[in-house]
Amino acid sequence: MKTVIEAHNLSKVFNPETIPVRAINGVDLFVEQGEFTALVGPSGSGKTTLLNMLGGLYKPTTGNILINNVDITKLSENQLIEFRLHNIGFVFQSYNLIPVLSAKENVEFIMLLQKISKEKRETRVANLLREVGLSDKMEVRPSQLSGGQQQRVAVARALASKPQFILADEPTANLDSKSATNLLDIMDKLNRDENITFLFSTHDQRVIERARRVITLVDGRIESDVVIETLEAVT
């Protein structure tokens, strides 16, 4: 299988000049295309910090991160912004939708940055919103959508750029049980049918039960890494 993420000897120290806080400490990690993997652990274990480093939002204190053999730790800030735009999809706990834009416009926005033609944008937006069950909400703004619907728009937006993988930080944390189940059904289907790679940070047992690999972080280190279902079994 193709390796999409490689992390070697990652560490992250916040406030190194004052009161150092070591959030990640010597992590090595490999993620293959098509994985549906959960990063779990107690609060403060480093899950979100690790996810943010893998997504290029935080720069590691030490170590290297390779995305499709590109070492993102060596990219300039502008190069990193451009790389994220074309290679990494993000789904956040707080949705992060643009309130003045409709569902369609929120999904379309990243493709505007990519300078994709209007015809291709409209076709892809329609297809994505159909996949997440929101074809009838294309012109609706986030404030008129439920939390579960907003998060489904966020998933469609994350997929719009055709990224190498999706990083999802506590995507079900603000959702009721039914909305969380619907969202997980959608992401699970995208993973199995389209081989889209998902890496979650989560406390949610509903996510953990769906994951086919569970990585446990404690005090910034990987304590365990358990494969529950192999990629060969999925495909």
Write the CATH number for 128: 3.40.50.300
Instruction: Round to whole Å and give the CA distance between 227 and 224.
Output: 10
User: What element of type H or E holds 194?
Assistant: helix 177-194
Pick the closest to residue 215 from 21, 28, 79 (CA basis): 28
Name the residue with tokens 């190498």. Answer: 164
Averages of pLDDT over runs of 10 residues in the chain (235 residues) are 93 91 95 96 93 94 95 95 93 90 95 92 94 94 94 93 92 90 92 93 93 96 89 55
CA distances to 37, 200, 230 from 235, in Å: 16, 20, 9
> What's the number of domains the chain is made of?
1
Determine the structural domain holding residue 225 and report its residue range: 3-234
Instruction: Round to whole Å and give the CA distance between 100 and 203.
Output: 31
Predicted pLDDT of residue 230: 63
Predicted pLDDT of residue 197: 95
Q: Provide the token pair at 191.
A: 């993973």
Task: Show the beta-strand stretches assigned E in the chain.
Answer: 3-14, 21-32, 36-40, 62-67, 70-71, 88-91, 165-169, 197-201, 213-218, 221-227
